[in-house]
Amino acid sequence: MAAEMVNPRSDSTSGSIGGGEGAGGVTDGEPFDPAFALHRGGKMAVQATVPVRDRDDLSLAYTPGVAKVCSAIAEQPELVHDYTWKSQVVAVVTDGSAVLGLGDIGPEASLPVMEGKAILFKQFGGVDAVPIALECRDVDDIVETVARLAPSFGGVNLEDISAPRCFEIERRLQERVDIPIFHDDQHGTAVVTLAALRNAARLTDRALGQLRAVISGAGAAGVAIARILTEAGIGDVAVCDRKGVVSPEREDLTDVKRELAGFTNKAGLTGSLEGALDGADVFIGVSGGTVPEAAVAKMAPGAFIFAMANPNPEIHPEVAQQYASVVATGRSDFPNQINNVLAFPGIFAGALQVRASRITEGMKLAAAEALAAVVADELSADKVIPSPFDERVAPAVTAAVAAAARAEGVARR
């Protein structure tokens, strides 16, 4: 799979909206838009890795030579990893129900994002990926469809599927197939958040076990962050949704939130997000909205504020910096960007390298520690996480995930 950062099918007049032509990409008075120019014709293409120049090449790449390989795989199914692209390719699957900050825009409108995800796999992890947008919303249908596609891929990256359906889809798919199923909106965000938090704690000479965190947002990312922080040994973490702190006393909890209430909030907090922030060491925002400055001011001295909503963080960095020792966002125009591209390419590269059957909690923790270690000797308030363009990231995460997979017994080579 050739992931082209510049579309070879584009030309200088193809940047206008709606397919019209005009000098400089102007159509019906609309100005040239480089985003449309780049996306015209798609952002990726399939490219052969072997030559087909003559009859001999054709006879090897296709019939009759291909029949020998097919027969060998039929006798020894594991050979599919050696003689096809299976161990090098991931399916990027969505139903278009929760796309970036755009919400439920449907499968067709989600394709530019899925293509983008695929080229990030290639650019940052050397992993080929195929975007697949499904015209179905039923959990049973999605699980059945992806399970039937699984023989073609070494792993499945679930993308932009709304909660709580995403939790069930991931769980049931992993029960059905023996390749890694990874919902990046959950676990990629969680891995990068943990890495940044580890380094923020190191920078300020604290341990995770000393910290009390509050997460704003009980969707896919919020649940996964709470889970990985708990696995990593956070002192305490409370998760808040629109109605306040998720706690066992509430009678309106979904099954996912009821499970969440069972392993979070040791302090027994109830009530609002603002109340939970009183004395908190860490704020993690994955919800949108705005947190009042008065609530931020009541956080513990030297707090960490990770306000990751895009494009508008829950707490603007200029406000956060007045009260926090470390500030992170999801934006590229501020320091410490919590960006999933730091995690998912290396995680899948490591899993594919050892033909892992799944991605375990231990593999995610190993990815977070490796990611944090990349800049462990360079820490500052503006650098607790590497840049997405730091070439050390993917190799470090890949190696750590592969080693963890072997240690946990899910590697097959």
The burial class, CB within 10 Å (0-12 / 13-18 / 19+), for 285 is buried
- 298 catalytic? Reply is no
Rounded distance, CA 344 to CA 195, Å? 13
Rounded distance, CA 162 to CA 37, Å? 30
The DSSP 8-state label assigned to residue 25 in this structure reads G
Rounded distance, CA 225 to CA 60, Å? 49
Name the active-site residue from 62, 68, 243, 266. 62
Residue 311: is the preceding peptide bond cis (ω within 30°)? yes
- 243 catalytic? Reply is no
Rounded distance, CA 293 to CA 320, Å? 8
Q: Answer yes or no: is 339 a known binding residue.
A: yes
Q: Answer yes or no: is 310 a known binding residue.
A: yes
Q: Answer yes or no: is 178 a known binding residue.
A: no
Rounded distance, CA 238 to CA 270, Å? 9
Q: Answer yes or no: is 4 a known binding residue.
A: no
- Record the tokens describing residue 410, joined without a space: 């899910």
Q: Answer yes or no: is 95 a known binding residue.
A: no
Specify the pairing of strand 236-241 against strand 212-216: parallel
Rounded distance, CA 159 to CA 91, Å? 10
Name the active-site residue from 43, 83, 86, 117. 117
Q: Which residues contact 89 (CB under 8 A, 6 or more apart)?
A: 1, 127, 128, 129, 130, 152, 153, 154
Binding residues: 159-160, 185, 310, 339
Binding residues for a divalent metal cation: 159-160, 185
Binding residues for (S)-malate: 310, 339
Catalytic residue positions, numbered: 62, 117
